[in-house]
Structure 1
Amino acid sequence: MNENNYPKLHNAMWPGVVGKGGDSEPVIPFDTMLDLTAAAEVDGVKFDGVDLALFEHIDVNLSDDEIKKLADKVGGYNLKIGSLVAPIWGGSAMGSKEERATFVEMVRKACHIGQKLTELGIRPSGVVRIDSSTSPTVWDADPTANSKLIAQTFREACDVAADYGEKLAAEGEICWGGMHSWKTMLETLELVDRPNMGFQADMAHTLLYTMGYNREQDRILPPDFDWSDRKALSEALRTLTNALRPWTIDFHVAQNDGTVFGSGSHDKTGRHCQALDPNGKLDVVHDAGYWLRDENGQLTKAFKHICWDGCMFPNSVMNTQQTWNDILATMIKVRQQHGWYE
């Protein structure tokens, strides 16, 4: 067994929530997600922790006593806590003054929880994740002005986060305006220009960046791309990661079949596939290296944990233990190839 013990291996809790509820399938309870995560084991190796969504499962308005109970609960499973998703969708980052104030306040509440969890010793690493909370279509009405407004909101959120010792990671996903292509994402990050602002790369979402979904002029791969051309795909992933890797402070291991999908109230975005999906277009273990290593092949060690993200799977898949064992096995291979020992 490979000796690497970093990066730590986390499971995301929000796949129990995202794309669920309403006309879709029921939300999978937080305790069930913890049970499945803690029960996963491959050759004696288990998940080290979980990344949390501060919505549905967990109320962003937790009191300090309730934060302590949350820490005790997760710690009782022998798991740590990592990154947190701030529930910023009550107001767009390029919306009215009131909406943007609501956005920043949600970031503040998330950072308070993050700081408390860190103080309690349950959260050794992690960021607070945000997005623009608006669609590419709305953004497209006035790209220059809207990107400036998003950046202004993000700067205010960064200043608040800094008071709590937190970093913010912008989620690279094609459904968020101003973040929906690799070039618009890069422009937004450069406009924000704060030391505690970074990028969250999710392999399923960033693959779609190479295909120009929602922003054709920024595609890297040709429109009629032949997925058997591994050399061209590798070159495209290199172009993408060389641009965004220097900003990357949070990382999701994931698979994608090159299509988009949405369920429940969630807009269409990168289709997360199961770890061993035969239709997956990524060589997950190899391609994780483009994010975890620099252009010279050296480990960046830019984050202390990595997280699996697989959303909008049917509940029958989510409630099957083998699903999580397969995911864990894939993440172990990522750490064997691109990890380190401390």
Structure 2
Amino acid sequence: MKLHNAMWPGLVGKGTDEGQEPPISLEKMLDLTAAAEVNGQKFDGIDYFLFLPHTNPEASDDELRQIADLIQSKGFAVGSLVAPVWPGTIGDSAMGTAEQREKFLSAVKMACRVAGIFDNHGVRKYGVIRIDSAEFGVEKWKENPSANTAQIAATFKEAAKIAADHGQRLAAEGEICWAGMHSWKDMLDLLEAVGMPESLGFQADLAHTYLYLMGYNAAEHALLQPGYSDEEFYAAYEKMTDKLRPWTIDFHVAQNDGEVHGAGSHDKTGKHCPADDPNGKLDIVRCASYWLKDASSRGIQHICWDGCMFPNATLEDPKTWNTILDTMIKVRDANASLV
């Protein structure tokens, strides 16, 4: 199983608004990743956000091939891609107006085009295209949950057809900030409503799914209460992963300290923490094993670290990446018999 690092921590939550830190360039993120090494092991590749300033998703074929050359020159493969479905990028809400939903589908088409160019180049041989509902917050969704979930599902079905036509698969990332995907139960209901597991599955992130257990934004679906014991935690964790694992086709290694965190427009989400954060709630290696059972049967060939919205000082510290890589190696080695 290949070990990847995500490039989007250099972008998500960064910007020019007051209080935001500046973005970190793609080449800088690649160099930080390439410098990491633990006992001769390095990262095998990167997962990639199709968003400026790293990438213009409307770039020409030649420009995209040049980006592929740059990534390959650092010794990396490309795995999963993040489609620019969010409002303010190319896309818009999957439960919005007809015009908004069409923008969402246009973003998926663009991502499939880029994926095809990377595939043909040879820098990409595995991975999925990540999407979400692109509807920030859950208040509007709660006005009519059944109808709004049905609307998102209809948009996702069309997106899955587009992906299939391009030889790609989509993975919907469960995260408490996305309407209709904000709890483990609502995420499962949405996946089942789409009902196209060969073309659209689930992307599990350890940091985000921890908050599923606690019922943030969906107290009725909480599986744990504060002050839980280890026994209660793993019983709840097994219940959640047994429901979502069959749909899981992409996996993010991460840590969470139990806080809800956000920056810029990407508000109220799971707080990613350093792999060795003393306040981390997760035994990363053990929790990963629940998601990685029979991973190869679901087409998972790589795992990716997600440190979304780390401060720039943390991202630019070489120790950060060596600690992360060491954790990734432990996850891979501990779960080698399961994949």
Q: Are residues 1:47 and 2:43 paired?
A: yes
1:135-174 correspondence runs (5 A) = 135-174=137-176
Q: CA deviation at 1:301?
A: 5.9
Q: CA deviation at 1:112?
A: 0.8
How far, CA to CA, are the matches of 1:11 and 1:301 in structure 2? 21
The change in CA–CA distance for 1:123 and 1:286 in structure 2 (over 3 A counts) is same
SS of 1:323 mapped into structure 2: helix
SS of 2:304 mapped into structure 1: strand
Q: Are residues 1:198 and 2:177 paired?
A: no
Q: Are residues 1:329 and 2:337 paired?
A: no
Q: Are residues 1:271 and 2:271 paired?
A: yes
Letter in 2 for 1:106: A
Q: Are residues 1:19 and 2:36 paired?
A: no
Q: CA deviation at 1:145?
A: 0.5
Deviations 1:44-83 (A, max 9, x none): 0000000000012111112111121111000000100000
Letter in 2 for 1:270: G
Q: CA deviation at 1:341?
A: 11
Q: Which residue of structure 1 lines up, in the alignment, with residue 178 of structure 2? A: 176
How far, CA to CA, are the matches of 1:83 and 1:45 in structure 2? 21
Q: CA deviation at 1:299?
A: 7.0
Provide the identity percentage: 54
Deviations 1:7-59 (A, max 9, x none): 10000000001111122111111111000001100000000000000012111
Letter in 1 for 2:215: G
SS of 1:258 mapped into structure 2: strand
Q: CA deviation at 1:225?
A: 2.7
How far, CA to CA, are the matches of 1:341 and 1:49 in structure 2? 22
Letter in 2 for 1:12: A
CA RMSD of aligned residues (A): 1.5
SS of 1:45 mapped into structure 2: coil
8 Å contact kept, 1:293–1:300: no
SS of 1:259 mapped into structure 2: strand
8 Å contact kept, 1:292–1:300: no
How far, CA to CA, are the matches of 1:204 and 1:169 in structure 2? 17
SS of 2:202 mapped into structure 1: strand
How far, CA to CA, are the matches of 1:187 and 1:41 in structure 2? 41
Q: Are residues 1:70 and 2:67 paired?
A: yes
How far, CA to CA, are the matches of 2:315 and 2:336 in structure 1? 27
How far, CA to CA, are the matches of 2:193 and 2:241 in structure 1? 19
Letter in 1 for 2:243: A
Q: Which residue of structure 2 lines up, in the alignment, with residue 208 of structure 1? A: 211
How far, CA to CA, are the matches of 1:165 and 1:55 in structure 2? 22
Out of 132-141 and 237-246, give the one that drifted further: 132-141
8 Å contact kept, 2:248–2:298: no
Q: CA deviation at 1:334?
A: 0.4
Q: Are residues 1:28 and 2:24 paired?
A: yes
How far, CA to CA, are the matches of 1:158 and 1:265 in structure 2? 26
8 Å contact kept, 1:292–1:301: no
8 Å contact kept, 2:48–2:81: yes
How far, CA to CA, are the matches of 1:340 and 1:124 in structure 2? 23
Runs of 4+ in 1 over 6 A off after TM superposition: none
How far, CA to CA, are the matches of 1:341 and 1:48 in structure 2? 20
8 Å contact kept, 1:212–1:219: yes
Unaligned runs of 5+ in 1: 1-6
8 Å contact kept, 2:170–2:201: yes
Would you say how many aligned residue pairs link Structure 1 and Structure 2? 330
Letter in 2 for 1:336: D
Letter in 1 for 2:302: H
What is the TM-score when the length of structure 1 is the normalising length?
Answer: 0.94
8 Å contact kept, 2:36–2:325: yes
Higher relative contact order (CA 8 A, sep 6+): 1
Q: Are residues 1:99 and 2:100 paired?
A: yes
How far, CA to CA, are the matches of 1:127 and 1:327 in structure 2? 22
Q: Are residues 1:85 and 2:103 paired?
A: no
8 Å contact kept, 1:86–1:129: yes
What is the TM-score when the length of structure 2 is the normalising length?
Answer: 0.95
SS of 1:267 mapped into structure 2: strand
How far, CA to CA, are the matches of 1:157 and 1:299 in structure 2? 24
The change in CA–CA distance for 1:341 and 1:215 in structure 2 (over 3 A counts) is closer
Letter in 1 for 2:280: G
How far, CA to CA, are the matches of 1:311 and 1:105 in structure 2? 25
Q: Which residue of structure 2 lines up, in the alignment, with residue 304 of structure 1? A: 301
Q: Which residue of structure 2 lines up, in the alignment, with residue 188 of structure 1? A: 190
SS of 2:159 mapped into structure 1: helix
Structure 2 residue corresponding to 1:10, chosen from 4, 10, 24? 4
Letter in 1 for 2:34: A
Q: Are residues 1:128 and 2:125 paired?
A: no
Q: CA deviation at 1:300?
A: 4.9
How far, CA to CA, are the matches of 2:263 and 2:102 in structure 1? 29
Q: CA deviation at 1:147?
A: 0.4
SS of 2:3 mapped into structure 1: strand
